[in-house]
Amino acid sequence: MNKFKRLFFVILTLSVLALSLPIAANASSDTHSFSDTYDYFAEKYQNLAGKEHVFKTAEYYQFYNYFLGGTDLKALYGDTPNATVQPSSGKYVFLLGGAWSDALKAAIGYVNEVAKEYGITAIYNFDPKLDGKSLDISSDPVYANKYNAILAKLGVDSLSFPSLIVYEKDSATTGHIVSSYSWSNTSFSSQAEIDSFKSALRNSVFNPAAVNGKIENIEVSDSDYFRSVVNARYYSFAAGRDNSDGTDYKKTLRPLPEDKQNVFEIVTLDELRGILASEGNYAVLLGGLWCHNTWAAIPLIQEYAEKYHISKVYFYDTVLDSSGSSTNGSDQLQTRSSTYRPTGSSSNQPSPIAHLYVDLINDFLPNIYTLNQGEYDANIAAYAAAGLDAPSLSNKFISYQDSSGETVTARRVQLPNFFVYNKDNKTEDGTPAPVIGQVEIMTELWFTSSASPDYNKDTSNQNGGYPIGTTTQPYPVADYYTKGYNRELAIKITSGTSSSGTTYSNANPFNYTHSYWAPGLNQILGAFISRQLSELISQAEQLNQSDYTSASYEALKTALNSAKSLKSSIDSAVKAQSPDSLVPDGSAILQAYTTLLQSLESLETAKPGTTNGTQTAISQTTRTTLPSAASPKTGENTATVVLVFLLSTSLICAVALIWGLQRKGFQGKIE
């Protein structure tokens, strides 16, 4: 076979493979995720909307402690088998500033374009306004220590916003700024201004850091960053500790594995508010990178996310610098406290940042039910039944005073609290209920192994938010967390005289038991998916049979009946409120959902003027408001199909060109 023929067949084979890829991509679209993803930059910056971009957010801990090495994490946590506590040497590209900056809004699209010229895959955005609005550590003297720490690590006296920096990291956790550029342009009204700005970026930032016209930057995936930080703390916390019965403390630890991606992504406060304000179905974990209760729950959440096809869990730390574990520590940015005092504040000054937490809860999570809320309800009910006025229970809430002097209060969520969310969800009577369900148990690491029920039964802390642990309930906390439980709170009143004249004392107490159902991951994820199934079922039921061919509509009916049957099973399990009544397996749910989705997408419309059953089908797929089988906010499948189409078209053109050349007598030159 001569060279031309060999080349022809190679290209022909590649063309066939390329043409088949869109079909394969479409066939694999049944890996539907029941959680949506959110693009903060596309949402905040008009110049990035609908475009592929390289930007990622970095909260304070990631920027200062992890990237800049502000804390020597390796020295703090030691060498651990499951965590790379800090990235290796290399170059980062940082964008400093936020969506509050008109100059950044105007320029970010051009920054993205030039960065791609140099092969940059990730630019990390650090916003000195930690809430995205007013908590500016670069100008507020109360938080000067947080900002000065960044300056010292970067080796500069000041920073400009917005600015772009290429930062060189070395193995000693110190580094230096290779190049930087800041600007103040708030509009680019001419092509000359745009070209001038791009040229300045190239000459001032990228060229000095480039090697052969490219910059090999460090990019840390959300999964790797989360796993590294959490696992390092797992092992540090467990080091040298044993449980009271002598069993090795470390045996029940379940760190996140390195050999696969986890579902967690850490977000800033402004990013979380954007998520909760947007259309879609989201999974969120309120927790603390510093919180051992959070570490205990993470492997269970990961396990159930995999079971029920939740591809993304957004993680938000209520301590904005993720430091410390005290709700009143002075050297941290704790929003979930009414009494937090920054360093140097007077003792009678209220928390200056409690409003960030209170407003988050009140604006987006009005129906979230916490352990604190349960204890509050129990006390109110007990004192009412005893004929007494309830004492102050302000410790169950977080509050601040607004500009008019009014006290604004929100429920105090315990950490960790995992919830599933859709901002448009309502109860049957129309009351907004965006939190479809939540799980909140302040468990410990050694209570979360289902493999060792005797070892893990909770026989302590019965008033601290744990399930009741007795010899008649020898279940590991993992079962309560995943299957749900009936929580009971015993209230004993030993002082006071009721309205009817009864006096309560230690000798004559008033005893009251308050109970409520606390669902587990199984039930809340079931309810979450049931809502999405309901939307798809509703779309199918609204279609008119006469508009479609018999074969395609019969396929739809079959899929619809299966989906309705499965939804009924889910709803019955959720309604039963029992750890013995569980939602069907996630794979069965996925199959029913994707089959119905595909049958909706595959409906064939009847040719006008014919009668259903005898008409000739036309190859027009019904496309209304059906959800994508890919994650709705990313559009990854569409991009893949477009790329493959262009590739296959190019290959076919190459075949045609070579064939044409051969036909015109240029075979010898090709050979």
For 291-304, what is the HEC assignment?
CHHHHHHHHHHHHH
The residues with which 400 forms a beta bridge, in sequence order, are 408
Inside any domain, residue 145: yes
Q: Is 222 helix (H, G, I), strand (E, B) or coil?
A: helix
Q: What is the pLDDT of residue 630?
A: 32
Which one has a higher pLDDT value, 632 or 478?
478
Mean pLDDT of 265-286: 98
Inside any domain, residue 430: yes
Q: What is the pLDDT of residue 301?
A: 95
CB 601 within 8 A of CB 621: yes
Which one has a higher pLDDT value, 25 or 106?
106
Lowest average pLDDT, out of 125-129, 476-480, 507-511, goes to 476-480
Inside any domain, residue 507: no
Q: What is the pLDDT of residue 82?
A: 52
How many domains are there within the chain? Answer: 4
Q: Is 570 helix (H, G, I), strand (E, B) or coil?
A: helix
Mean pLDDT of 78-104: 81
Q: What is the CA radius of gyration of the chain?
A: 29
Element (H, E) at 621: strand 617-621
pLDDT at residue 614 above 90? no
Express each pLDDT in 374-399 by its tens digit. Answer: 999 999 999 999 999 999 998 899 99
The reply to whether 189 and 227 lie within a common domain is: no
The reply to whether 129 and 270 lie within a common domain is: no
Of 175, 204, 219, the last residue of a domain is 219
CB 70 within 8 A of CB 150: yes
**How does the average pLDDT of the chain come out, rounded?**
81
The reply to whether 266 and 406 lie within a common domain is: yes
Which one has a higher pLDDT value, 358 or 652?
358
Of 152, 185, 219, the last residue of a domain is 219
Inside any domain, residue 174: yes
Q: What is the pLDDT of residue 564?
A: 98
HSE (CB half, 13 Å, CA atoms) of 50? 2
- What is the pLDDT confidence band of residue 427, given thresholds at 50, 70 and 90? very high
Q: Which residue has the tokens 């039944």?
A: 385
- Burial class for 566, CB neighbours closer than 10 Å (0-12, 13-18, 19+): buried
Of 198, 219, 240, the last residue of a domain is 219
Q: What is the pLDDT of residue 351?
A: 84
Lowest average pLDDT, out of 193-207, 338-352, 565-579, goes to 338-352
The reply to whether 358 and 430 lie within a common domain is: yes
Task: Report CA dihedral (599, 602, 603, 609) to the nearest 10 degrees.
Answer: -160
The reply to whether 148 and 115 lie within a common domain is: yes
- Burial class for 587, CB neighbours closer than 10 Å (0-12, 13-18, 19+): exposed
Paired sense of beta strands 264-266 and 313-317, if any? parallel
Mean pLDDT of 177-204: 96
Q: Which residue has the tokens 């049979």?
A: 545
CB 165 within 8 A of CB 96: yes
Mean pLDDT of 337-365: 83
Element (H, E) at 165: strand 163-169
- What is the pLDDT confidence band of residue 339, given thresholds at 50, 70 and 90? confident
CB 506 within 8 A of CB 480: no
The reply to whether 487 and 407 lie within a common domain is: yes
Express each pLDDT in 220-264 by its tens digit. Answer: 999 989 988 888 777 666 655 544 444 444 445 567 887 889 999
Q: What is the pLDDT of residue 582?
A: 96
Task: Report CA dihedral (15, 31, 42, 638) to the nearest 10 degrees.
Answer: 30
Mean pLDDT of 115-138: 97
Q: What is the pLDDT of residue 69?
A: 82
Lowest average pLDDT, out of 129-138, 169-178, 401-410, 602-611, goes to 169-178
pLDDT at residue 477 above 80? no
Inside any domain, residue 323: yes
As a whole-number percent, the residues of the chain with pLDDT over 90 amount to: 59
Cα separation of 461 and 442, whole Å? 10
pLDDT at residue 317 above 80? yes
Q: Which residue blocks in 38-143 are alpha helix, DSSP H?
A: 40-44, 60, 73-77, 102-117
The reply to whether 158 and 197 lie within a common domain is: yes
CATH number for the domain harbouring residue 121? 3.40.30
Cα separation of 337 and 421, whole Å? 24
The reply to whether 552 and 486 lie within a common domain is: no
The reply to whether 265 and 321 lie within a common domain is: yes
Q: What is the pLDDT of residue 183?
A: 98
Inside any domain, residue 42: no
Q: Is the dihedral of CA 108, 114, 116, 120 positive or negative?
A: negative
Express each pLDDT in 363-377 by its tens digit. Answer: 999 999 998 999 999
- Burial class for 231, CB neighbours closer than 10 Å (0-12, 13-18, 19+): buried
Lowest average pLDDT, out of 61-70, 204-213, 460-469, goes to 460-469
pLDDT at residue 459 above 60? no
Q: What is the pLDDT of residue 163?
A: 98
Cα separation of 241 and 249, whole Å? 6
The reply to whether 616 and 654 lie within a common domain is: no
- Angle between helices 586-601 and 550-576 in degrees, nearest 10: 150
* Long-range CB pairs of 106-109, under 8 A, 24+ apart, other chains included: 106/47, 106/185, 106/186, 106/187, 106/188, 107/162, 107/183, 107/185, 107/188, 107/197, 108/41, 108/45, 108/47, 108/48, 108/55, 109/45, 109/47, 109/48, 109/51
Express each pLDDT in 30-79 by its tens digit. Answer: 478 999 999 999 999 999 999 999 999 999 999 998 898 877 666 666 65
As a whole-number percent, the residues of the chain with pLDDT over 70 amount to: 73
Q: Which residue blocks in 257-394 are alpha helix, DSSP H?
A: 269-277, 292-307, 354-364, 371-385
The reply to whether 303 and 417 lie within a common domain is: yes
Kindly report the pTM of this predicted structure.
0.84
- What is the pLDDT confidence band of residue 566, given thresholds at 50, 70 and 90? very high
Q: What is the pLDDT of residue 144?
A: 86
List the domain range (segments joined by +) for residue 326. Answer: 223-491
What is the number of residues in the chain? 671
The residues with which 284 forms a beta bridge, in sequence order, are 314, 419
Cα separation of 65 and 194, whole Å? 35
DSSP string covering 420-471, please? Answer: EE-TT-B-TTS-B--EEEEE-----GGG--TT-HHHHB--S-TTTTPPP--T
Inside any domain, residue 234: yes
Q: Is 533 helix (H, G, I), strand (E, B) or coil?
A: helix
- Angle between helices 636-663 and 3-27 in degrees, nearest 10: 160
Inside any domain, residue 432: yes
Cα separation of 334 and 316, whole Å? 12
The reply to whether 541 and 412 lie within a common domain is: no
